[in-house]
């Protein structure tokens, strides 16, 4: 290995060193597309990325080579928004050729961009790929499926998939992952994910053997549907055709999540116990399962066992533990753990953690403590947190506290909606219900009048048949 290759492989330590290597490539005659591509990648791995424009300078200097190799590398390494702009500028230069990787990296950038502008740009790039015949390539078409799925356009993703002349494992994974990760119409999309998995096993008569990623997505879809039958079948498939869930941390974690959500906590604990490797997701899935079944003490014990196994919990782990405490009524234990989060586990509480503790105190009837806890928060409380406490005030019939929390909630909602200066109808109704519990009908009328003055109306109830 030459000195230059060695330096490129081991990454320059500074921007000056990177420029020196670039100069050596010219003076020694060792310049090649592969080495220049590595140099471009190193421009973006320097921390901090001092001058990403230098990578563009390298590509522009070599643009006469009429090859997209270096430009593709630039699109791959650049931030998504910049990648889209680079592709748009490239399109205006008709003397430069494309290849399939150009569209793969450009569509990939649009998938990562995650906004309407990224969606529109990706659709235009996809159309250009269709016009030039690149979408017939399985990798380009698969990236298009991934792009549409990431943007929540599963209809387009399915159309691209159905029109593919050839599909491979990655293509099926892109579609199944897309269906199982949609937040809108979750049940319908999860059902479609399972149907796709069935078709995948029978594709072309011989079927396509699923990978670990496929099985994880299928388990996720089954868990969201609460389908124990399908999840058990996938479990059996894993045992028969793979190394077993104990050897694959992601499949094992998926099974723990599945059985917990389907009410089979003992089976989830058995799978968890036999796993040889567990990561923070595994521990969190098991903690969430215990929380779901109201096993607060067991969830706390698992948290400390996790720490003993040198796996540090994350913010989701603590949310699960606090939820378990809330379901089990473990007020002292939950509050004590909250105050030890940062000092013992290095996790700074966020708004969800504060909400869990406020909910814990409120549901246990400690309304004054819950209110003081909310007021003492370092950040402004959100509407969800205050609605929870208002519900507890209504549950325990504390009108004075309910009034205070209700007015606080309305003020926050009005501050967050300054354009129409109106809180959601349900918040006014919540406050009115608190007054109604104490037979303070004049105050109920006052709230109703305030709703009318702001143009808020209660939607009339309708039966399911209508």
422: pLDDT strictly greater than 50: no
Asked, for residue 310, whether it belongs to a domain, the answer is no
- Give the pLDDT score at 383: 79
Helix (H) or strand (E) holding 388: helix 383-396
For residue 112, being part of any structural domain is answered with no
Mean pLDDT score, 16-40: 77
Lowest mean pLDDT: which of 26-40, 295-309, 328-342, 426-440? 426-440
Q: What is the reported pLDDT for 465?
A: 45
Peptide bond into 454 cis (omega under 30): no
Which pLDDT value is given to residue 245? 75
* CA 173 from centre of chain: 17
Q: Provide the Cα torsion 329, 334, 335, 337; round to 10°.
A: 170
Averaged pLDDT, 257-284: 94
Place of tokens 């209700």: 406
In a domain, 148, yes or no: no
What is the predicted pLDDT for the residue at 464?
A: 46
Category of 185 on φ-ψ map: left (φ > 0), alpha (ψ -120 to 50) or beta: left
Q: What is the pLDDT of residues 140-198, one digit of tens each?
A: 999 999 999 999 999 999 999 999 988 999 999 999 999 999 988 889 999 999 999 99
Quote the tokens at residue 423.
């809180």
Q: Residue 14 pLDDT > 80, yes or no? A: no
Instruction: Give alpha helix (H) positions in 417-455.
Output: 425-437, 441-453
Query: What six digits make up the tokens of 263?
Result: 């009410």
- Do residues 401 and 372 touch, judged by C-beta distance below 8 A? no
Residue-range definition of the domain harbouring residue 449:
378-456
Residue 425 vs residues 422, 435, 438, 451: alpha-carbon distances, Å: 8, 16, 21, 8
Position 391 confidence tier, pLDDT thresholds 50, 70, 90: confident
399 located within any domain: yes
Model pLDDT, residue 65: 56
Cα(203)–Cα(226) distance, rounded to whole angstroms? 26
**What is the pLDDT, as a whole number, of residue 1?**
47
Q: What is the mean pLDDT of residues 409-437?
A: 63
Average of per-residue pLDDT across 352-379: 90
Average pLDDT over residues 43-72: 72
Residues 356-383, mean pLDDT to the nearest whole number: 88
Check if the beta carbon of residue 180 is closer than 8 Å to that of residue 193. Answer: yes
pLDDT at res. 315: 93
- For 174-178, 199-203, 298-302, which range has the lowest pLDDT when averaged over its residues? 199-203
Among candidate residues 78, 141, 156, the one with its CA nearest the CA of residue 113: 78
Mean pLDDT score, 333-350: 92
Total number of domains in the chain:
1
Give yes or no for residue 328 having a pLDDT over 50: yes
First CA to last CA distance, the chain: 76
Q: Would 412 be classed as within a structural domain?
A: yes
> Which pLDDT value is given to residue 438?
64
Kind and range of the H or E run holding 394: helix 383-396
385 lies in some domain: yes
Both tokens of 284, joined, read: 């969190």
Q: Is 409 within a domain?
A: yes
Q: Residue for token digits 């089990």?
A: 328
What is the DSSP-derived secondary structure letter of residue 424? -
> Is 69 part of any domain?
no
Q: Give the Cα separation of 67 and 84 in Å (integer).
A: 19
Please provide the average confidence, as pLDDT, over all residues in the chain. 83
Using a 10 angstrom Cβ sphere, with 0-12 exposed, 13-18 middle and 19 or more buried, the burial of residue 170 is middle
pLDDT of residue 321: 94
């Amino acid at each position: 290995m030459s000195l230059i290759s060695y330096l490129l492989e081991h990454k320059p330590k500074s921007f000056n060193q990177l420029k020196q290597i670039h100069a050596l490539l010219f003076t020694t005659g060792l310049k090649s597309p592969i080495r220049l591509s590595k140099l471009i990648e190193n421009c973006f791995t320097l921390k901090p990325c001092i001058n990403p424009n230098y990578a563009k300078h390298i590509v522009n200097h070599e643009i006469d080579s009429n090859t997209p190799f270096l430009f593709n590398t630039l699109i791959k390494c650049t931030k998504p928004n910049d990648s889209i702009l680079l592709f748009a500028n490239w399109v205006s230069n008709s003397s430069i050729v494309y290849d399939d990787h150009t569209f793969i990296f450009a569509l990939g950038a649009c998938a990562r961009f995650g906004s309407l502008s990224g969606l529109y740009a990706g659709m235009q790039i996809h159309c250009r790929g269709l016009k030039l015949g690149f979408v017939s390539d399985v990798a380009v078409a698969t990236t298009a499926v991934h792009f549409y799925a990431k943007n929540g356009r599963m209809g387009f993703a399915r159309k691209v998939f159905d029109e593919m002349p050839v599909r491979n494992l990655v293509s099926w994974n892109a579609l199944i992952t897309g269906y199982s990760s949609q937040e809108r119409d979750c049940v319908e999309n999860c059902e479609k994910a399972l149907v796709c998995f069935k078709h995948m096993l029978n594709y072309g008569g011989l079927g396509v053997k699923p990978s670990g990623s496929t099985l994880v997505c299928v388990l996720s879809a089954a868990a969201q549907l609460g389908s124990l039958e399908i999840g058990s079948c996938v479990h059996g498939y894993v045992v028969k055709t793979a190394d077993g869930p104990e050897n694959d941390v992601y499949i094992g974690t998926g099974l723990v999540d599945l059985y917990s959500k389907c009410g089979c906590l003992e089976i989830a604990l058995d799978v968890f116990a036999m796993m040889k490797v567990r990561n923070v997701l595994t521990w969190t899935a098991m903690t969430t399962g215990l929380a779901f079944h109201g096993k607060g003490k067991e969830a706390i014990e698992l948290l400390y066992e996790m720490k003993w196994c040198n796996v540090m919990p994350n913010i989701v782990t603590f949310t699960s533990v606090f939820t378990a405490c809330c379901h089990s009524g473990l007020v002292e234990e939950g509050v004590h753990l909250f105050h030890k989060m940062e000092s013992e586990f290095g996790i700074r509480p966020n708004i969800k953690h504060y909400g869990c503790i406020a909910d814990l105190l409120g549901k246990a009837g400690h309304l004054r403590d819950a209110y003081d806890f909310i007021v003492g928060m370092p950040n402004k409380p959100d509407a969800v947190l205050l609605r929870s406490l208002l519900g507890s005030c209504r549950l325990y019939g504390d009108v004075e506290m309910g009034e205070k929390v209700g007015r606080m909630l309305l003020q926050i909602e009005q501050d967050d909606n300054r354009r129409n200066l109106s809180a959601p109808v349900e918040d006014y109704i919540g406050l009115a219900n608190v007054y109604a519990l104490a037979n303070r009908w004049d105050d109920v009328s006052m709230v109703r009048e305030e709703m009318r003055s702001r143009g808020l109306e209660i939607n009339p109830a309708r039966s399911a048949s209508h």
